[in-house]
Amino acid sequence: MNRINQKNAAVLCMLVLSFVVMPASAQPYPSKTIRMIVPSAPGSGPDLIARVTAQKLSEQLGRSVVADPRPGAGGSLGAELAAKAPADGYTLIMASAGSHSVNPALYPKLPYDAVKDFAPIGLVSTAPNILIVHPSLPVKTVKDLIALARAKPGALTFGSGGNGSTAHLSGELFRVLAKVNMVHVPFKGAPSAVIGVMTGEISLAILNLPPALPHVKSGKLKALGVSTAKRSSAVPEIPSIAEAGLPAYDASTWYGLLAPAGTPGEIITRLSSELMKALRSDDMKKRIAVEGGDIAGGTPEDFAALIKRDIAKWTQVVQASGAKAD
C-alpha cells in the first residue's frame, strides 16, 4: 500500500513540476511587450508612422507595441541594433528606403545586411517626394526643366536634406535619366533645403512632401511633379515626374516592418496578418495620409522583392552618378 502511495506521490510531483518548468515558448505569442525600433529621430515621418502602426498593433494583439527611436548614421545604427536582436518576435524595426535600400547602395561596408539579416513582415506605406522650384525659374513642366538644364550645363543646382539621403539620390536619379548636368547642394535637413529653394539659393529640390507642400499651396514654391511612378492620392492634382516628361522615373520613399532573420515563421505570419488588418482600418489610412503617404500592404514575399529591387536600382544610380554619402 505504501508503495502505491509513493508511486502516486511521484506521479503527482512530476505533473506539478511539468507545469512549473513549462517553457516560455509554450506561451501564446505575444506574451510581453514588443519593441519596434525606428532608425530615425523622434517626430520624423518614419517615427510618426511607426507610432501609429504600433498603436494599432497594440490594440489588435492585446500587448503593448512600443516605438523606440534609435537615430544615427542615416538609419544604420537602428538597423544594426535590430539585426543583432534576438529573433523571438519581440524586437521589430520600422525600416525605410533609406536604411534598407539607399544605405546598402552607398556604403560598401555596413554593420548589417539589409537582405540576409532581416525577415520582412509587410510594407506599411509609400510616400512621394515632390519636385519643387522657385516660381521665378522659367519652367512650367518637367520637360521645360530638362530643356533648361541641357541648355545650361552645370548652371542649375538641386538640394537635399543631406548627402546620402533619399532626396539626394532622387535628384541623382533625375540627373542620370534626364542626361543633364546639375550640381548637388546638401543641407542639414529637408526643411532647410525647402528654404534654400524659396530664397533662390538653389534652383530646385526633390524632397519629402510634408515640409514642401504648405509652400506649394501658398504659391511660394512651384511643384512640377511627384517622384512616384503614378500620381499620389495625397496630391492627385500634381502629375508624376514620369508622366510629366521623364517616363522611367520612380523614386518612392517607403516604410515597412521587419524582424530579425530567424524569427519563427508562425510569428512572421501572425504579425503580417495583423499588420494587413491594421492597414485596412480607416483611422490608419487617415493618419498615413496626414504624412503624405499611401497605404501599401502585400505579403512578406512582396516586401522582400521590393527591397532587392530597390537596392539594385540605387546601386546603379550611385555607380552612374558617382554619388557619395560624405
pLDDT value at residue 17:
44
pLDDT value at residue 5:
55
Best CA proximity match to 72, nearest among 118, 30, 37, 119:
37
pTM: 0.83
Best CA proximity match to 204, nearest among 178, 218, 183, 188:
183
Eight-class DSSP state of 239: P
SS3 for 18-62, per residue?
HHHCCCHHHCCCCCCCEEEEECCCCCCHHHHHHHHHHHHHHHHHC
Domain with residues 35-126+252-321, CATH architecture: 3-Layer(aba) Sandwich (3.40)
Which residues sit opposite 65 in a β-bridge?
Answer: 34
Q: Please write the tens of the pLDDT for every residue from 171-188.
A: 999 999 999 999 999 998
Instruction: Take residue 11 and report the three cell numbers written for it.
Output: 506521479
Is the bond leading into 30 cis (omega within 30 degrees of zero)? yes
Instruction: State mean pLDDT over 219-225.
Output: 95
The number of C-alpha atoms within 13 Å of 199 and in the hemisphere containing its C-beta is 8
Average pLDDT taken over every residue of the chain: 89
CATH code of 129-244, in short, is 3.40.190.10
Question: For residue 266, how many other CB atoms are within 10 A of its CB?
Answer: 10
pLDDT value at residue 4:
47
Residue 163: band (very low, low, confident or very high) from pLDDT cuts 50, 70, 90: confident
**Residue 253 main-chain phi, psi, to 5 deg:** -95, 135
CA–CA–CA angle 182, 188, 193 (5° rounding): 50
Residue spans per domain, the chain: 35-126+252-321, 129-244
Q: Tell me if 154 sits within 8 A of 325, measured CB to CB.
A: no
Is residue 1's pLDDT more than 70? Answer: no
* Residue type at 194 in one-letter notation: V
CA–CA–CA angle 237, 238, 244 (5° rounding): 130
Q: How far apart are CA 120 and CA 108, in angstroms?
A: 22
Question: Given strand 129-133, what is the order of strands in its sheet?
Answer: 183-186, 157-160, 204-208, 129-133, 222-226
Residue 6: band (very low, low, confident or very high) from pLDDT cuts 50, 70, 90: low
Instruction: State mean pLDDT over 101-111.
Output: 92
- Please indicate whether the domains covering 35-126+252-321 and 129-244 agree at the CATH topology level: yes
Number of separate helices (H) and strands (E) present in the chain: 13, 11
Lowest mean pLDDT among 8-22, 72-86, 265-279: 8-22
Q: Please write the tens of the pLDDT for every residue from 19-73.
A: 444 444 457 899 999 999 999 888 777 888 899 999 999 999 999 999 999 988 8
pLDDT value at residue 20:
44
* Residue type at 326 in one-letter notation: D
pLDDT value at residue 16:
44
Greater model confidence, 5 or 82 = 82
pLDDT value at residue 57:
97
How far from 231 is each of 38, 128, 171, 182, 291, CA to CA, in Å?
Answer: 28, 9, 18, 25, 16
Is residue 8's pLDDT more than 50? Answer: yes
Q: Tell me if 297 sits within 8 A of 256, measured CB to CB.
A: no
Is residue 132's pLDDT more than 90? Answer: yes
Q: Tell me if 54 sits within 8 A of 66, measured CB to CB.
A: yes
Q: How far apart are CA 175 and CA 178, in angstroms?
A: 5
Instruction: State mean pLDDT over 145-166.
Output: 93
Q: Please write the tens of the pLDDT for every residue from 251-268.
A: 988 999 999 999 999 999
Residue 165: band (very low, low, confident or very high) from pLDDT cuts 50, 70, 90: confident
